[in-house]
Amino acid sequence: MEKDNLNKLWEFQAIEGLNINPKELIKKANKQRNEQYISITVMSLTVIVLIAYAIFYAFSQWNTFNLGLMLMIASLSVRVMLEFYSLHRKEKQLVSMPQKSYYTYLKKYYKTRQIVNYLITPICVSVYIAGFYLLLPYFKAYFSRGFYLYIVVSGIVSIAFVMGIIIKGIIKEERYLKQLNG
């Protein structure tokens, strides 16, 4: 991001009636961008691991195990692409707009993010869980009872942890939107 140009441009502007100064807005934008990068990295690493496993072990024959893997990979890939698109679009606008216009743009951006958060994300999570569920009979057949239970418990804990991160992110975005509408 061209922070220097942005800082110079915004330092001379003020939005009357707002309690958000340019430096505070830039700080929040940077923090959220970093959180998006972390989310993208975690999801991307998961996709890479799933794809590597699928390439080396899973595709000897087509079955519900492969379908489950493909559902998991597809749901995470869609989510990663949405995050990249969202991040790129916001950064591009941040650098090209004056503060007042960007402030208006942010309102629209977070309203659009509500569609991602409340429609697309639940679909992606549901597809991922369905994919995981399709894997369970194979895990049960091929692994010991103890390791199978470990996979089930760790899978549920992992999904709950990721859902917690997603919910925390949604709450933050809702707060940003509320503050912008303030």
> Could you report the per-residue pLDDT of 14-30, keeping only the tens digit for each?
444 445 566 776 777 77
CA distance readout (Å), 129 to 17, 30, 70, 95, 122: 46, 32, 12, 38, 10
CB 120 within 8 A of CB 76: no
* Distance in angstroms (rounded) separating the CA atoms of residues 3 and 9: 10
Residue 143 structural domain: 3-181
Domain total of the chain: 1
**Per-residue model confidence as pLDDT tens digits over 82-121:** 888 888 777 776 666 777 777 788 888 888 889 989 999 9
Provide the pLDDT confidence category of residue 140 given band limits of 50, 70 and 90.
very high
Q: Which residue has the higher pLDDT, 81 or 179?
A: 81
Q: Percent helix, strand and coil across the chain, each rounded to 5?
A: 90, 0, 10
Model-level pTM?
Answer: 0.75
Model pLDDT, residue 12:
45
What band does 143 get if pLDDT is binned at 50, 70 and 90?
very high
